[in-house]
Structure 1
């Protein structure tokens, strides 16, 4: 009986000596959506997309006008000549259409690469923030439900969002340099 009591006392003593783990969570979507670097990246690509759209629309207007003109002209021709003229028109515009598609795909690829970089920088920042502020875990809350519930005092979304934007404004593009400790 004494051995059981002694064993329980050792277990209770060992358990009380364990370091308290510091755990928090962030709303990933909220942090990334409020991250100024993401906002700036989206703005840059919106501008590029607007320019591309205007150019594409101008080319489409020229195409439509030329198509109407050719349709009027070839309506008086024989069916064989109509087919030849239609094929010539299609061949003329096919490289233009391919070029426009290629440019749009390149823009989408560049956007995706930059957004992946933004997300990587956010993740690196949160990791560094956690290390510098003594967190054992910083969990990510998202629509998939990785954190279904957490007490409000463990939600550091706003603090992390403010810190990452301050680092970005300070020109810390790596976002790993100076991370302010919580107060």
Structure 2
């Protein structure tokens, strides 16, 4: 009886050891430097160039109106002495109205600019996140972390960095080249073992 209990106890112990060994899992991880991704994205660079051109156009339009107002004001000051104080008062009201219109125009332009380019930037960033998710799924990653301004990793080996792969693929996709979502051999082979916490 004692012998059978001892054998049963050993069997349970071996079974529980084997069970714990079976729960060790391999996680394939990587990270992307999001700040570098934003800086080197051709699509975001093109958007920035277009936004600068638009800003310059808006600035020229406003400058033209401001310069016209200044010239008209200088001219009105010369005429005010000849035409009298009543005329000068009416002109002052007109200039005040025109100045307010320029202020409203400037605010409208800024709002329009922010809506147009802000939404385009958000769309590009969302597409990048979706691409990284797709990249992770297709290449068997369990986790892809992000670094940069919003740091979610304190340390990682350089071998886990797939930033260049993502930048290259996104830039090729944006340029119209066919992109395959495949990691470099070194990154594809990178895995990390973790054991679940014991209860």
The answer to whether the aligner puts 1:9 opposite 2:9 as a matched pair is no
Map of 2:128 onto structure 1 = 122
Matches within 5 A, 1:41-56: 41-56=47-62
Gap change, CA 1:127 and 1:179, over 3 Å in 2 = farther
Q: Quick check: 2:66–2:102 contact (8 Å CA) kept in 1?
A: no
Cα separation, 2, equivalents of 1:72 and 1:49: 35
Superposition RMSD in Å: 2.2
The answer to whether the aligner puts 1:182 opposite 2:190 as a matched pair is no
Count how many residue pairs are aligned between Structure 1 and Structure 2. 175
Matches within 5 A, 1:5-154: 5-16=13-24, 18=25, 20-74=26-80, 77-78=84-85, 81-154=87-160
- Unmatched 5+ residue regions in structure 2? 1-8, 185-199
Q: Quick check: 1:27–1:141 contact (8 Å CA) kept in 2?
A: yes
Normalising to structure 1: TM-score of the pair?
Answer: 0.83
- Unmatched 5+ residue regions in structure 1? 173-177
2:31 partner SS:
strand
CA shift for structure 1 position 81: 5.0
Larger Cα-atom Rg: 2
Q: Quick check: 2:139–2:183 contact (8 Å CA) kept in 1?
A: yes
